[in-house]
Amino acid sequence: MKIDLKTVCAFGDSVMKGIVVDKENCPADGIKYKISDMGFAARCRRNLGIEVENFARFGGVVSQGMKFVSRYADKVKRSDYVLFEYGGNDCDFNWAAIAENPREEHSSNTPISLFVKLYSELIDFAKSLGARPVLLSLPVLEPNRFFAHVSKGLNGDNILSWLGGTVLTIDRWHERYNMEIFRLGAMKRVPVIDITSVFLERKNYADYICEDGIHPNDAGHELIEGAIMDFLNMQAQRVAI
């Protein structure tokens, strides 16, 4: 079925931006990133033949969303959909501070109650502009790779101690934010495109995640594109009915 779209605006973090690990140019002691032309937003642009205005930012958090939506309000008003993809950086921590003081309390970049509040306000603001907001859930992370990445050059034992002795704590914390995204969608009556399950359906989902454990690789972006295309096809079918 034909998907009749002209323009989509996208806001979020590096996943939305299409950031992947630049394996060919990584230094021996670290990771280098690049914007992939195989990112899911770029893939959707090519396959749908529509204009995708991608305003995502590397390191983006939900508190920046209002600023960018306001800045590009005219484009938002003219778009068919506004995609939001926040949470990955919001749920992250200052790992250097944790490594230095593992016995202290440490808050995530955006505490979860504030994350819900700000995201809710962002959705309402987009609606006030006449936009049709759509949320993206979070892609999975691979906790072992992620721990190795964030603890590199730091006291990994201290970080692991703060995590309660298991890297799976990272995964559970990440999933808390993901659950809130689905709840927000239900509360605000806006669609949530599930880009989590397309990874979990794979037996070896780590094959679709970059070496840093958090960014989907090109194959992972293909999975996300598939989830978005399924959503758009479903919307087209509803319109046809």
The structural domains of the chain, with segments of one domain joined by +, span 7-240
Amino acid at 177: Y
For 33-51, letters b (16+ CB in 10 Å) and e give: beebebbbbbbbbeebebe
pLDDT in tens, 112-163: 999 999 999 999 999 999 999 999 999 999 999 999 999 999 999 999 999 9
* Residue 168 confidence class, pLDDT cut points 50, 70, 90: very high
Q: How far apart are the C-alpha atoms of 126 and 189, rounded to whole Å?
A: 13
- Residues 11/76, Cβ–Cβ less than 8 Å: no
pLDDT in tens, 11-42: 999 999 999 998 887 777 778 899 998 888 88
pLDDT in tens, 35-94: 998 888 888 888 877 788 999 999 999 999 999 999 999 999 999 899 999 999 999 999
Mean pLDDT value across residues 211-236: 89
Mean pLDDT value across residues 166-189: 96
Mean pLDDT value across residues 166-182: 96
Q: Given a cut of 70, is residue 105 above it in pLDDT?
A: yes
**Beta carbons within 8 Å of 235's beta carbon, 6+ residues apart:** 3
Q: What is the chain's Cα-based Rg?
A: 18
Class of domain 7-240: alpha beta
| Lowest-confidence segment of 71-85, 93-107, 195-209, 224-238 by average pLDDT | 224-238
Q: Given a cut of 60, is residue 1 above it in pLDDT?
A: no
Q: What is the pLDDT of residue 237?
A: 63
* Residue 241 confidence class, pLDDT cut points 50, 70, 90: low
Residue 137 burial by Cβ neighbours in a 10 Å radius (0-12, 13-18, 19+): buried
Q: Given a cut of 80, is residue 98 above it in pLDDT?
A: yes
Provide, for the chain, the percentages of residues in helix, strand and coil under a 3-state DSSP scheme, each rounded to the nearest 5. Answer: 50, 10, 35
Nearest to 92 by CA among 116, 104, 109, 106: 109
pTM for the whole structure:
0.92
